[in-house]
Structure 1
Amino acid sequence: MRIAVTGSSGKLGRATVQRLRAEGHAVVGLDSTGTPGDGFTRVDLADYGQTLDSMLGVTARYDRLDAVVHLAAIPVNGLVPDAATFHNNIVVSFNVVHAALRAGIRSIVTASSITAMGFPFDVPPSRLPVDESTTEANNTYGLGKVAEEAMWGQLARWAPGLAITSLRFTNVVAAGEYATFARASDPDYRRDLLFSYVDARDGAAAVALALRHPEPGFEVYNVAAPETGSAIPTAELIAHHFPDVPVRPGLGEFESLVSVDKARERLGYVAVHDWRREYSADPGA
């Protein structure tokens, strides 16, 4: 396929471009920054005219798109004022998906987030592990993700065969960024993330799987490593931080508290990058 990746210059964007090209797809990067001549086109995605134009084709680059992967966003609260985070992300996301719909593109994968499930979990979850049925926002970045998912659920009804898949990524860690896992024996390490993480390469694999298995309508999947980023057994972490929260029976020794059962069963998602191996191989660790 010919696939556009917005946010192609970001951490997850770079890994996704590399993964999709390795699978034989022609990939176009759409972002505010990038490397000219490498399938990249500079686009102001906050401008609907530019966004729609890029979905229809760019002279000397491409004349059609088969699918869109939307990863572009202000990635966390704090980089700009809170309201600006929400305004930018919701406008850009609407522009990308609505323009793709208008351009006749029927396979769209978007990045959602653990922040749509209660991050930083100051109020304990109703049960553990947390699955896709939980939707709660506690900051403007997360509020944007909740609003986007609501939009996708409606827009997916507007065109026959339109498949919009939202992937709720937890904290994305790239190769060479595993030095912080030196704190893995600290019971507070990654507590606000329910101790979860996902390697950027595994996140990119989830994107590729979502493109391979488009389901007409709207679907949301959690994307995380299957085990926590902690050296402390999961049961001990729960007892320390969430003693009153019901826990699914049969939880594995280090099993993640962000459930990836749905992605594994319906997409075939299997993460292969483990923090223990990556940490030991990280020269900065």
Structure 2
Amino acid sequence: MKVAVTGGSGKLGRSVVRRLSEEGHDVTNLDRDGERGHRFTKVDLRNYGQVVDVFLGLEDRHSGFDAVVHLAAIPAPGLAPDAATFENNMQATYNVFQAARRAGIKKIVYASSETVLGLPFDVDPPYIPVDEEYPARPESTYSLVKHLEEQMAIQLTRWDPELSITGLRFSNVMDPEDYEEFPGFDADARQRKWNLWGYIDGRDGAQAVSRALEHGTPGFEAFIIASADTVMSRSSASLAAEVFPDAPVVKELGEHETLLSIDKAKRLLGYAPEHSWRNYHPLRTTPTED
């Protein structure tokens, strides 16, 4: 497919652009910054005119896209004033969704967020592992925007029954070089309780995007996307018992099983995480595979 990736210069975006390109898709990175060249176009996503223009075609580079992967955003709470985060992220996502519709693009995959699950869990989760079945619990402006984006996607797909929008609720994105810090988390179980000790290897995040492009169907669906394990050496059951003793544990947990349930993504998208920090050895030039 001809695929536009917004935010393709970012941490997750680089992995997504690489994977989709390796799979044979014709990928264009739409971002404010990036390596100049045939596959990069500078776009201000807050400017609707720029977005719809580039979706419709760009001189001798392309005549439109088959799908859009929208990753561009201020990526976390606290990086900008709340009002700036709301304005930037909400406006950019509306522009991308609406411009795609105007351009006749029927497949959109975008970065929602684990934060809609109730992070930083100062209030206990309703149950463990958390999943997509309970109502959103945004606790920050950043998360509120992610929730509103999902609500917007629900209505846009209602307006257009042929439109497919898939929201991927990514966990904390990590690259292999980040794994050197993981053993230090063991000293305090509460240090990473804010997202139930979850993470997502950027390469597995890219796999989820690829699967969503392949398997997305008309309508809106949201999926939690996390690695299969936690960031901790301790067992998942012991972490839940110590930090969230009042939260019901609704299934028997594997030794290091993620507490951000990826069962829905496995079932409907065929998502299958391939990478774990436990196989990373800093003395090697590349991590080993599962």
Q: Is this a same-fold pair by TM over 0.5?
A: yes
DSSP-derived class of the 1:30 partner: strand
DSSP-derived class of the 1:156 partner: helix
DSSP-derived class of the 2:146 partner: helix
After TM superposition, the structure 1 = structure 2 runs for residues 14-163 of structure 1, keeping only pairs within 5 Å, are 14-134=14-134, 135-163=136-164
Moved over 6 A (4+): none
Assess, with a 3 A threshold, how the Cα gap between structure 1 residues 177 and 242 changes in structure 2: closer, same or farther: same
Unaligned runs of 5+ in 2: 286-290
Displacement, 1:282? Answer: 6.7
Over aligned residues, Cα RMSD in angstroms? 1.5
Distance in structure 1 (CA, Å) of the matches to 2:28 and 2:283? 32
Give the structure-1-normalised TM-score: 0.97
Distance in structure 1 (CA, Å) of the matches to 2:191 and 2:48? 41
Instruction: Give yes or no for the alignment of 1:202 onto 2:204.
Output: yes
Assess, with a 3 A threshold, how the Cα gap between structure 1 residues 275 and 69 changes in structure 2: closer, same or farther: same
Query: Please, which of 253, 256, 259 is the counterpart of residue 255 of structure 2?
Result: 253
Give the structure-2-normalised TM-score: 0.95
Assess, with a 3 A threshold, how the Cα gap between structure 1 residues 169 and 282 changes in structure 2: closer, same or farther: farther
Paired position in structure 2 for 1:230? 232
Displacement, 1:178? Answer: 1.2
Distance in structure 2 (CA, Å) of the matches to 1:38 and 1:121? 44
DSSP-derived class of the 1:41 partner: strand
Instruction: Give yes or no for the alignment of 1:8 onto 2:8.
Output: yes
Assess, with a 3 A threshold, how the Cα gap between structure 1 residues 216 and 122 changes in structure 2: closer, same or farther: same
DSSP-derived class of the 2:77 partner: coil
Displacement, 1:107? Answer: 0.5
DSSP-derived class of the 1:272 partner: coil
Displacement, 1:192? Answer: 0.6
Instruction: Give the length in aligned residue pairs.
Output: 285
After TM superposition, the structure 1 = structure 2 runs for residues 206-221 of structure 1, keeping only pairs within 5 Å, are 206-221=208-223
Deviations 1:255-274 (A, max 9, x none): 11100000001111011111
Displacement, 1:281? Answer: 5.4
Displacement, 1:188? Answer: 2.4
Identical amino acids, percent of aligned pairs: 50
CA contact (8 A) 2:32 2:43 kept: yes
Paired position in structure 1 for 2:288? none
CA contact (8 A) 1:178 1:282 kept: no
Deviations 1:18-61 (A, max 9, x none): 00001000001100011111411000000000011011111122
CA contact (8 A) 1:116 1:146 kept: yes
Displacement, 1:279? Answer: 4.9
